[in-house]
Structure 1
C-alpha cells in the first residue's frame, strides 16, 4: 500500500493506492510533478482519504501555466469556455 499526500487550496487529503493500482500507475507516481487522482472518497471528521482507482499525470497542465487562459463565467462556476487561448507564443 502507498500513501500519497495531495493538497489544493481547500486542504489536504491522503491518497491510498493498493499494490495492484501502484503497479499500474508506478511511472506517474514516481515521476510526475503534478497528478490528479480518481477514486472513492472517505471522510471522517477532518480526515479525508481517496481510495485511488486512477492516477492522471498532469505535468502538461503544469507546464502550460502562464501560457493558456481558461475563461469562466461569474457565479456558481458555470463554465463559459474551456477552450485554451494562447496568450504567448
Structure 2
C-alpha cells in the first residue's frame, strides 16, 4: 500500500506502527521520526510556523483563507504520478 501523510501526527503513527516503508510522501512539517525526512515533500504550508508566533500564524492563515487562497501548496503532479492508495489529511 502506498501512503501519503500530510499530518505530522499521522506520519509519526504510521512509523510507530511499522508502516514507514509504505509512506511515499509527506508534508513539510513531517519531521519525526528522522527517517520520515527522507520521503518526498508533497505539501508545503504557505505560512511558516517555525518563524512566526502562534498569533502570527493564525493571522496569516486567516488572511489567506479570507482571500480565498489555499494555505498549502500541493504537488498535484506528484500525486497524480505516484497515485497513493491512502492520503492522510
Name the TM-score class by shorter chain.
Answer: under 0.3
- The structure with higher relative contact order (CA 8 Å, sep 6+) is 2
Which protein shows a greater Rg? 1
Which of the pair is proportionally richer in strand? 1
Which of the pair is proportionally richer in helix? 2
TM score, norm. by length of structure 1: 0.19
